[in-house]
A = this chain, B = another copy of it.
Amino acid sequence: MKTDKLYYGAAYYEEYLPYDRIDKDFMMMNRAGINVIRIGESTWSTWEPVEGEFDFSLLKHMLDKALEYDLSVIVGTPTYAIPSWMAKKYPDILALTHNGQGLYGHRQNMDITNPDYLRHCEIIIRKMMEVIKDYKNVIGIQIDNETKPYDTCTKYAQDKFVKYMQGMYKDIEEMNREFGFNYWSNSIHRWEDFPDVRGTINGSLSAEYKYFQRTLVTDFFEWQKNIIREYIKDNVFITHNFDFGWKGFSFGLQPEVNQHDAAKSLDVAGCDIYHPTRNSLTGREISFCGAIAYSLKKDNYLVLETEAQGFAEWTPYEGQLRLQAYSHLAGGANSVMYWHWFSLHNAIETYWKGVLSHDFSENAVYKEACIVGNELKKYGDKLKNLKVKSEVAILVSNRALSGIDEFPIFGGLTYNDIVRKFYDCFYDINIFCDVLDSKDKESFKNYKLIVCPALYSATEEELNALKEYVKEGGTLVTGFKTGFSDEHLKVYHDTEPHILNEVIGAHYDQFTVPDGVCADNKELSNFMELLTADSADVIYPYENKHYDKYAAVTKNKYNDGFAYYVAANLADKTLTKVLKMALESAKIDLPNATFPVVIKSGINDYQKRITYIFNYSDDDVTLKEGVARGHEILTDKVYNGESVTIPMWSFLVLEEI
């Protein structure tokens, strides 16, 4: 979504303040150039302390005060954490999951298919929308918060699931066959014998249930959106703060939500990006997660949450907060919003720190936020609504992710590990992949190069689309695990990789775990397919007396295109070499700088190219000649390709002249 300005802000919770200081806070925000707050999503029990009794005084107070201090507001529906009275009255709202039923206390542990829950959601949403609908400073509504299915396995959910299966399979025996239920006597011959899915040992069923659970989120959004739109005008956007596969920080594709589907109910995609800092700050998470967020609506997105101080181990070095903010913008974000303004004095997230520390003083982070905020106010007009588009796309798939979760790779290599390895190797040579849902075949033609890592669970339609893409002249990089099973995790029973073997000019009928096997002189780990090149050229063979007849990497000319196949979990350096070859096949030029120099660019509202050159290192870096060209916006300097030094954790923003 295009916005009229860049939004810089923070989540704000007056309800958590230890004393009355909203004026002080909003004054500090004004001074910092903060122009938006996000409120309301966490505190149902404050808005409805007792069933049917409502008290929105605090909400109104925040909205009124925000008006007074000229702050825009994004209001969240508070449905992700239920009040204690609701759990007391309807104990079965707490979701039954694979780990049994939870106790009241934690957020996000309810059954989002429970009718009592939904009825109460509707009531609180309607009441809240009534309150806010006439506030001019409300620019957006956030549905819920980082919604998931919370692994609901209640009778409501499982009944829906059985109906979903009945819809898919008129003939129950067809289901038995496709899912391989007769294994270990699990076949089901009457629908009423369908067992509790939580006990299943059938990966196809388990993955299908996860697929089904993802649809619950999609439906929940559509349902909330429709209620909200009864009250809220179209100029107020509806969004959601999507989060990502988590590895102590935002890491990969979200396993529990199909964000591409769920985003259809939204006007603009929002996201939460958290990442390591200090010596571990690389910008990779900001870039990868931002690319997903951009892909959801194929448009600019909002960063609704990112860390200010975050965990103790994330406390940023001087300069990093600013570097991070511009990194978000460089990916096409139209907002940078911290979670949250002030650090909490109680409860579980006491040590997930905000812009302000517990003492509310003007600490180092606040001071740096002031710099950022005032720069954005001054220069944001040139930086907003950046249109970013790559010649390379990477395909992602929840189905494939679930498939590899069900059948883990030796050593615990996950789907997201594999995807990120491909993405990051590109990132480090300043090639940024757009992210496509693997089903989005219509978009393939817009790219010179498509990367398809570990598309384990793939429909024939998906595989044929890739085939077609190469046939028509595209360059494909794919590799191990791709095209091995169908959408229900039934392994294809002909030559592997299914359909693609023709495209890559190679096939395999065995795979193993490398043990003393190298490729390109580097020891392999986790997994290797014993790939036999048919028409393909062997780029790297396996180096090991037992396996030297097999290929680790092949390249094949197929009709007008090229297909590279990476049969093993290569070392980063080797994979990077392969990716460079693929770029050459696709006729894509390589930028002449590599990580820790990160160069990102896009087209602004004035149809000018804005180029960011970031230094993601703890030392100064000096750019080669020819790299920096253009008008540096923040310093008003002009660069004509001369060698220039960027201080540690700093950057240039160059406007095309």
- CB pair A347–B312 under 8 Å, yes or no, is no
Q: How far is the CA of A49 from the CA of B46 in the complex (A)?
A: 54
Tell which of B42, B87, B359 touches A184, judged by Cβ atoms closer than 8 Å.
B42
Q: Is A373 an interface residue (CB 8 A)?
A: no
A317 within 8 A of B: yes
- B-contacting residues, A151-206, CB 8 Å: 177, 179-190, 192-196, 198-204
**Does A363 interact with chain B (Cβ within 8 Å)?**
yes
Q: Given the known inter-chain contacts A309-B510, A490-B18, please indicate yes or no for A83 contacting B185, CB distance below 8 A.
A: yes
Closest-by-CB residue of B relative to A357 is B509
Are B312 and A180 interface neighbours, CB within 8 A?
A: no
- Quick one: given A312-B513, A346-B202, are A107 and B491 in contact (CB under 8 Å)? no
Known: A179-B346, A186-B45, A344-B183. A87 touches B201 (CB 8 A): no
- Give the chain B neighbours of A527 by CB distance below 8 A: 312
Residues in chain B near residue A88, CB distance under 8 A = 192-193, 195
Interface string of A321-348 (1 = CB under 8 A from B): 0000000000000000000000111111
B493 touches A345 (CB 8 A): yes
How far, in whole Å, are A278 and B16 apart by their CA atoms in the complex?
Answer: 54
Decide if A195 touches B491 in the complex (CB within 8 Å).
no
Name which residue of chain B comes closest to A199, CB basis: B103
**Complex Cα distance A201/B104, Å?**
9
Report whether B198 and A103 are in contact in the complex, using a CB–CB cutoff of 8 Å.
Answer: yes
**Interface pair A185/B45, CB less than 8 Å apart:** yes
Contacts A180-B346, A344-B183; A358 near B201 (Cβ below 8 A): no
CB-nearest residue of chain B to A498: B359
Q: Are B358 and A195 in contact (CB under 8 A)?
A: no
Q: Looking across the interface, which residue of chain B has its beta carbon closest to that of A484?
A: B358
Asked if residues B493 and A184 are in contact (CB atoms below 8 Å), the reply is no
Report the interface size class on chain A. 35 or more
Q: How far is the CA of A195 from the CA of B88 in the complex (A)?
A: 7
Chain B positions within 8 Å of A410 at CB level: 312-313
Complex interface residues of chain A between 350 and 365 (CB less than 8 A to chain B)? 350-351, 357-361, 363-365
Which of B182, B365, B546 makes the CB contact (< 8 A) with A16?
Answer: B182
Chain A, range 86-102, C-beta contacts under 8 Å to B: 87-88, 102
1/0 contact string of A99-113 vs chain B (CB within 8 Å): 000111111000000
Contact of A105 among B193, B201, B346 (CB under 8 A): B201
Q: Quick check: A193 and B84 within 8 Å, CB to CB? A: yes
Neighbouring B residues of A184 by C-beta, 8 Å: 42, 81, 106-107, 347-348
1/0 per residue A530-557: CB within 8 Å of B? 1000000000000000100000000000
Nearest-neighbour CB distance to chain B for A517, whole angstroms, equals 10
Residue among A18, A50, A181, A348 facing the most chain B CB atoms (10 A cut-off): A348
Which residues of chain A in 290-323 are interfacial with respect to chain B, using CB atoms and an 8 Å cutoff?
309, 312-313, 315, 317-318
A102 (CB) vs chain B CBs: closest residue: B199
A349 within 8 A of B: yes
Query: In this complex, what residue of B is CB-closest to A78?
Result: B185
A238 to chain B, nearest CB (A): 22
Please measure, in the bound complex, the distance between the C-alpha atom of A509 and the C-alpha atom of B88, giving whole angstroms: 40
CB-based contact B16/A84 at 8 Å: no
Q: Is A433 an interface residue (CB 8 A)?
A: no
* Contact A347 B201, CB 8 Å, known A19-B493, A512-B313: yes
Bound state CA distance, A309 and B511, in angstroms?
A: 10
Q: Is A43 an interface residue (CB 8 A)?
A: yes
* Contact present for B45 and A202 (CB under 8 Å): no
Render A495-519 as a binary contact track against B, CB cut-off 8 A, 1 for contact: 1100000000000011111011000
Contacts of A103 in B (CB 8 A): 195-196, 198-199
Q: 8 smallest A-B Cβ distances: which pairs?
A: A180-B346, A103-B199, A105-B199, A183-B347, A315-B512, A81-B185, A49-B189, A313-B513
